[in-house]
Chains A and B, each alone.
Chain A
Amino acid sequence: QITLKESGPTLVKPTQTLTLTCTFSGFSLKTSGVGVGWIRQPPGKALEWLALVYWNDDKRYSPSLKTRLTISKDPFKNQVVLTMTNMDPVDTATYYCAHVSPVCFHHWGQGTLVTVSS
């Protein structure tokens, strides 16, 4: 059974850096073709893909957010970390991580709501 869970702060101040951790089980990030991605959803709005990292450390980022995002993996801890710099109130959203194989989000975490406010 594949499970994923997001963790991190629920409230960040403008200009701060957000660090989110995705802890997963039921699959390995050492398996060919497997990846973990991050997606966010502002309240009442559509899904927006942010970044993903594959088993071979191939990393892809949303072009519109590329300068602010960093994704990294620790396959031994079964974790993937996403950092987003210079947070703004418009970044308030529920952030999801998901299992990717190979370009499709098969399993999703429950999501974590991050509010950006001073």
Chain B
Amino acid sequence: QSVLTQPPSVSAAPGQKVTISCSGSSSNIGNNYVSWYQQLPGTAPKLLIYENNKRPSGIPDRFSGSKSGTSATLDIAGLQTGDEADYYCGTWDNTLSGFVFGTGTKVTVL
């Protein structure tokens, strides 16, 4: 069982905004940077957000990340059909002394 909890699924119409939450604890999110990964069907994960809210080169600003206390959030604005994918949060856990991924969230564009 993952120590980072995400909603199994979220959905919205094209052009709308979705928010994906990632809940952890003081041993992980509360004291470490959070990253977010997008996994399109049948492909390898891709980094979307690192250090809580930074986007790698080439990632549209429709994707934004934030962190507050022991939770993190990924927002996807202006939803597109190409955004249908699984999304994972991740961070270091000081107690486990290892990296942990969230349970994953499937985004569906209605």
Contacts and interface: CB of A to CB of B under 8 A. Distances in A.
Given A46-B103, A63-B98, A103 B47 contact: no
Interface residues of A, number: 21
Interface in B21-54: 32-33, 35, 37, 39, 44-47, 50-51
A103 B32 CA distance: 9
B32 to A, nearest CB: 7
Contacts of B63: none
Interface in A18-77: 37, 39, 46-49, 52, 60-63
A24 to B, nearest CB: 14
A107 B50 CA distance: 12
Given A46-B104, A47-B88, A104-B50, A109 B97 contact: no
Interface size band for B: 20 to 34
Interface string A92-103: 000010000001
B104 A106 contact: no
A60 B98 contact: yes
Interface of A: prevailing SS? strand
A107 B46 CA distance: 7
B110 interface: no
Contact of B37 (A47, A48, A60): A47
A49 B47 contact: no
Interface string B49-66: 011000010000000000
Interface of B: 2, 32-33, 35, 37, 39, 44-47, 50-51, 56, 88, 90-92, 96-104
6 contacts: A46-B88, A60-B97, A60-B98, A61-B98, A107-B47, A109-B44
Given A39-B101, A104-B51, 9 more contacts: A46-B102, A46-B104, A47-B101, A103-B33, A103-B92, A104-B50, A105-B45, A106-B47, A107-B47
